[in-house]
Chains A and B, each alone.
Chain A
Amino acid sequence: MKRRDFLKGSLQSGAAVLTGGALAPVTAEARPNLQPKEDAIGMLFDSTLCVGCKACVAKCKQVNDMPPVTESEIRAWDEARDLSGDTLNVIKTYKNGDGSTKDAENNGFAFEKRSCMHCVDPGCVSVCPVTALTQHEKTGIVSYNPDACIGCRNCMAGCPYNVPQFQYDKPFGQIMKCQMCNQKGVERIDNGLLTGCSEVCPTGATLFGTRKALLAEAKRRMELKPGDTYTYPRGDVSNPGSYHDKRVPTYKQHIWGETEAGGTNVMHISAISFDKLGLPPLGERSACSVAEGVQHSLYSYLALPAVLMAGLSYVVKRNTDEEGEGS
């Protein structure tokens, strides 16, 4: 009789702990998205200005001391089609129909830059078990430390933009990603320089600056009237090296990176919708903030596991003792 009650009790409490564990992550409030840093620096890529010259790709390779990727015999320019262990910055082409008109969704073409977006709430940093990826407190730059990295490649899966790339072709490879030209040994930002790509961009399609100033510039461009002339800056948005006048295109009223998954410090604007340019289907919520919420509700101070362990030790001890010499 007593034993039965006990069994029932232990069953019930066991079930209670398990249900509690299952419900904790469901009911817990996930942490909110991280917020943009006050002085975060970033870049603004305006697809309508990009002429596809790939000067930025070549400069990136030079700064980072990486070999060009070539497919054909003409070794005149870098032919990398996507990010890889050898390429941190790439220009992709959008083409539709006969591809005759620049910045037209139909029968048009456009260029799109792909490199680390330096997320405000970076998934790569959140998922890395050994803190090999970190976000700088002031600048918001996301950098990588190969000495800590174990190569689990969770950062690749956790990055909404498939940015971190592992060097699969090397026996002792590492993760490669854009570190905004500020990694050890390069430190262009710390030395008051711009990122390599924005320094060489002939059209100002890649613009350097603080996130704040770049966002203001992007919003300004959203307000322009198509067909008018606008004086576009080159280099650093707050201290442009030079300007050029150009007809204003019909911008899509969307600044990519203002809010997507918490926002990014590298933002894009374009005359073609971003899903066509290959940017991912992201909501405002960063997925890693939800994952962290689940993880912390289950493991804060290891409280739930400790309760489970205490309860189970008691039940198991009691049950094995009862079995006693019988087995």
Chain B
Amino acid sequence: MSAHEKAGGRIFTLPFMILSVIAAIGVYFIIQRFVYGMGAVANINGGFPWGIWVVYDVVIGTGLACGGYALAFTVYVFNKGQYHPLVRPALLASLLGYALGGFGAFFDMGRWWQFYNIFLPWNWNFNSVMLEVGLCVALYIIVLIIEFSPAFLEKIGATGLLKALNKVLFLFIALGVVLPTMHQSSLGSLLIAMGYKVDPLWQTMQFQPLFAVVSALIMGFSIVIFEASLSHVRFGGKSETPLLGVLGKIAVGLMAVFVLVRLGVLAGQGKLGLMFAGDFSSAMFILEMALFIFPAFVLLSATKRHNGGALLIAAVSMLFAGSLYRFNAFLFTYNPGPGYSYFPSVPEIMVTLGIIAIEIMVYLIIVKTMPVLHRSEHA
């Protein structure tokens, strides 16, 4: 018998209705994009080919969807079985985040009707980081579907299939660690070829993949802590706070690595002084560092680590830190040279908000109808 249960409850609540309105507006503009071209909806231009659709929906969206990655690491690799209750909700959030990231990449593709060209081996350019990202993300979405499928198989009672799947599941769990390690680091490598356009405080060249993968893990752990504390409030059930505390401890280690190595690399490249330049880039850099360092200090204290509220605040700060790192590198301080600037248009923002709304709606529906959340002891 499964240790998971569906949360139940009404689906069409008021928040759900509000989300569906936002989703509808987003879908409306996505249709506009296909009918009239990207320029009719988005403010991207010759110097800024990637706007919030790429940078938020794909680069940051998949980072925030690294909960499954972070937990797979903890639970299966380091054999911390007691985190099991968190795995399914995290996998679901990862699956949705990646699926919508993939969808975002699709409607942002200028020549979307030929998207399959990237899957044809004779087209492959092995020098291209983008090739690795594209193929690896596509593969990982399939792996996530397989990893999450036990919830669905339990629901329909396909015990035979479930047993067979369980025998080979370890392979997919391993892939679920290998693939994100690969493409999350590659997301950082994308920045290398952009050279001088990436602000010196973020252009660390060979170190890009390292910072990208560590930021992915930080975002992954923080989203798990965030979601678990939230859905505890929302759906009740057993509090996972002690477990979350340990995850927080791992996150502290990761943040220490991120901040120290980052400062070390900048010092090594002779660019440390730029953080005191007093310009926009230096302000963003200091804000970003503060967002990394603040939660590290909160989580260092054992009492705060086991306090739901403090955990939540720390998690939110970490989410912002990781997202801001990627936003800064790809967009906020990105400078293709004189004559170009970018600020997203309202329709462009509505598309991104619509995607987020859809993600939350699907999450709520699945959690309420399928065995995803951990069975509470006194239900």
Contacts and interface: CB of A to CB of B under 8 A. Distances in A.
Given A25-B209, A157-B194, A165-B46, A174 B111 contact: yes
Interface in B106-148: 109-115, 117-118, 120, 123-132, 134
A162 B170 contact: no
Contact of B195 (A160, A174, A315): A160
Contact of B173 (A148, A292, A320): A320
A158 B348 CA distance: 23
Interface in A1-33: 7, 10-11, 14, 18, 21-22, 25-26, 28, 30
B197 interface: yes
A151 B111 CA distance: 5
B178 A308 contact: yes
B193 A288 contact: yes
B193 A152 contact: no
B241 interface: no
Interface stretch (B71-79, B226-234, B315-323, B358-366): B71-79
Contacts of B40: 169
B79 A146 contact: no
Interface string A130-159: 111000000000000011111111101110
B210 A291 contact: no
A296 B206 CA distance: 12
B174 A130 contact: no
Contacts of A323: 81
A84 interface: yes
Given A83-B46, A294-B206, A312 B337 contact: no
A322 B47 contact: no
A48 interface: no
A184 interface: no
Interface in B190-247: 190, 192-197, 205-210, 213
B178 A294 contact: no
A127 B127 CA distance: 7
A294 B209 contact: yes
Interface residues of A, number: 77
A281 B208 CA distance: 20
B77 A22 contact: no
B192 A287 contact: yes
B192 A150 contact: no
Contact of A153 (B49, B76, B125): B49
Contact of B127 (A126, A308, A313, A327): A126
16 contacts: A11-B78, A25-B189, A123-B193, A128-B125, A149-B114, A153-B110, A154-B190, A157-B49, A172-B111, A172-B113, A174-B110, A287-B193, A294-B189, A312-B174, A316-B77, A316-B170
Given A173-B37, A293-B206, 19 more contacts: A21-B181, A22-B210, A25-B206, A25-B210, A82-B46, A123-B193, A127-B128, A129-B130, A129-B134, A150-B111, A150-B115, A152-B110, A153-B110, A168-B38, A169-B39, A172-B37, A288-B192, A290-B192, A327-B81
Interface of B: 3, 34-40, 42, 44-47, 49-50, 76-79, 81, 84, 105, 109-115, 117-118, 120, 123-132, 134, 169-171, 173-175, 177-178, 181-182, 185-186, 189-190, 192-197, 205-210, 213, 336-340
